[in-house]
Amino acid sequence: MNVNKLKEKITLHPIMAILIMIFLTIIFSGILSALGIQATSRKISVTTLEYNTYIAEVNSLFSFKGLKYIFTSTISHFMSFAPLSSFIIILIGIGVMEKSGFLKVAFTLLTKNAKKINVTFCLVLISILLGVIGDLSFVILLPISAILFEVGKRNPTIGIIASFAGLSCGYGINFIFTSMDSSLLSFTTLAAHMLDNNYVLRTTGFLFIMFIVVLLLTFLITNITEKYLIYKLDKYEFTETELEDELLLDKKQRKGLALAFLAFFFYFLIFLYNIIPGLPFSGKFLDNSQIFYIDKLFSYNSFFNSGFVFIITIGMIIIGFFYGLGAKTIKNHHELCDDLGHSLDGIGRIVVLIFFASILINVFKYTNIGTVIVTALSTIISNTKFTAIPLIFLLFLISAISTIFVPSSITRWSILSGVTVPVFMNAGITPEFTQLIHRFGECVTIGITPLFAYFVIYLALLEKYNQKKQPINFLKAIRYLLPYVLMTFVVLLTILIVWYIVGLPIGLGVTPTL
pLDDT, tens only, 100-137: 889 888 888 888 888 999 999 999 999 999 888 888 88
Strand-pair partners of 54: 41
**CA gap 454, 168 in Å, rounded:** 10
**CA gap 467, 472 in Å, rounded:** 10
pLDDT value, residue 248: 59
Structural domain includes residue 106: no
Longest CA–CA separation in the chain, Å = 74
**CA gap 155, 229 in Å, rounded:** 11
- For the chain, the domain total comes to 2
pLDDT value, residue 356: 92
Q: Do residue 266 and residue 366 come from a single domain?
A: no
Q: Do residue 236 and residue 264 come from a single domain?
A: no
Structural domain includes residue 139: yes
Out of 215-229, 247-261, 307-321, 484-498, least confident range? 247-261
**Strand, helix or coil for residue 275:** coil
Q: Do residue 334 and residue 194 come from a single domain?
A: no
**CA gap 139, 131 in Å, rounded:** 11
Percent of the chain exceeding pLDDT 70 equals: 94
Structural domain includes residue 91: no
pTM > 0.95:
no
Quick check: 52 and 42 in contact, CB under 8 A?
A: yes
Structural domain includes residue 197: yes
Average pLDDT over residues 33-40: 89
Q: Do residue 121 and residue 257 come from a single domain?
A: no
Structural domain includes residue 232: yes
Q: Do residue 193 and residue 280 come from a single domain?
A: no
**Strand, helix or coil for residue 335:** helix
When pLDDT is cut at 50, 70 and 90, the band that residue 244 belongs to is very low
Q: Which of 287, 312, 345 is the last residue of a domain?
A: 345
Q: Do residue 305 and residue 381 come from a single domain?
A: no
Q: Do residue 384 and residue 476 come from a single domain?
A: yes
Give the CA distances from residue 395 to residues 31, 122, 206, 356, 377, in Å, rounded to whole numbers and listed in that order. Answer: 29, 32, 18, 33, 9
Structural domain includes residue 96: no
What mean pLDDT is reported for the chain?
Answer: 87
What sign does the dihedral 30-31-34-37 (CA atoms) show? Answer: negative
Quick check: 504 and 511 in contact, CB under 8 A?
A: yes
| Residue 40: DSSP 8-state | E
Which residues, other chains included, contact 16 with Cβ-Cβ below 8 Å and sequence gap of 6+?
A: none
| Residue 471: DSSP 8-state | P
Give the model confidence (pLDDT) of 436-462 as tens digits. 999 999 999 999 999 999 999 999 899
Q: Do residue 40 and residue 58 come from a single domain?
A: yes
Q: Which of 345, 360, 388 is the last residue of a domain?
A: 345
Structural domain includes residue 101: no
Nearest to 414 by CA among 45, 132, 33, 16: 45
When pLDDT is cut at 50, 70 and 90, the band that residue 44 belongs to is low
Q: Do residue 402 and residue 487 come from a single domain?
A: yes
Structural domain includes residue 514: no
pLDDT top residue among 224 and 286: 224
Residue 218 pLDDT > 70, yes or no? yes
Q: Which of 310, 326, 345 is the last residue of a domain?
A: 345
Q: Do residue 193 and residue 54 come from a single domain?
A: yes
pLDDT value, residue 6: 46
Q: Do residue 431 and residue 448 come from a single domain?
A: yes
Quick check: 22 and 363 in contact, CB under 8 A?
A: yes
**CA gap 159, 461 in Å, rounded:** 11
**CA gap 416, 381 in Å, rounded:** 9
Residue 243 pLDDT > 60, yes or no? no
Q: Do residue 219 and residue 271 come from a single domain?
A: no
The listed range with the strongest mean pLDDT (310-314, 327-331, 341-345, 397-401) is 397-401
**CA gap 373, 198 in Å, rounded:** 33
Domain membership of residue 441 as a residue range: 2-80+113-244+346-502
